[in-house]
Amino acid sequence: MKDYKNVIVFDHPLIRHKIALLRNENTSMKEFRELVEEITTLMTYESLKDGVPTTEIEVKTPLEVCKQNVVVDNSIVIVPILRAGLGMVNGIHVLFPSARVGHIGMFRNEETLTPETYYCKLPEGIENKLVVVVDPMLATGGSASDAIQLLKDKGCTHIKFMAIIGAPVGISKVAEDHPDVNIYVSTVDRCLNENGYILPGLGDAGDRLFGTK
């Protein structure tokens, strides 16, 4: 995989530890869901450190009044790509509880492996917000790239994308299609198999999150 300026791969021992547990086929649905949220929170801390809108306010301490920067209310929108992306929302809400949530529904055509959009519901005024698109698995990159383009078509200009595990082909596609969007992944896996699943991966994230298999 090329070295892209807009791709940030995390290398943190705590994240690596949690991903090892996430991969394990014996990890329960409850544990899997909790791990996805915990990893997302760790990623959010780093991913949003340089792009969150802030404003200066006065705070009265027990000793004096001081000036302090705070996050601008209603300045962040989380957009999960349905359905697996839903598993990452609470991980961001832990740090930004007032963030609004939009939804983009896409499914992968199992014959062509290309994404098809079936649902889109976004908060009013999203074009003026910091938009964080989330999907645990960045495989072919088709869904992520199309979701980002959909948001751009709606007028969004400040977009970040977060995935827990990415395949080189998917990372490359999104990085090249959207060089103005920072892409954050926790780890880069080896490749895709003939069915478009990431190897070694962790199986189908949606099924493991929601117990549908």
54 counts as catalytic: no
Given the residues 23, 100, 177, 207, select the one marked as catalytic.
207
Nearest to residue 196, comparing CAs of 146, 138, 149?
A: 138
The residues near 118 (Cβ < 8 Å, ≥ 6 apart) are 105, 106, 107
Catalytic residue among 27, 117, 187, 204: 204
Beta strands at 115-121 and 100-101: parallel, antiparallel or unpaired: unpaired
What are the DSSP E strand ranges found in the chain?
7-9, 54-60, 65-71, 76-82, 100-101, 103-108, 115-121, 130-134, 137-138, 159-166, 182-188, 191-192, 198-199
From 27, 100, 108, 117, active-site residue: 108
114 has catalytic annotation: no
The single residue of 112, 114, 157, 212 carrying the catalytic annotation is 112
DSSP string, 47-106: HTTTT--EEEEEEE-SS-EEEEEEEPTT-EEEEEEETTTHHHHHHHHTT-TT-EE-EEEE
Catalytic residue numbers, as ranges:
108, 112, 204, 207
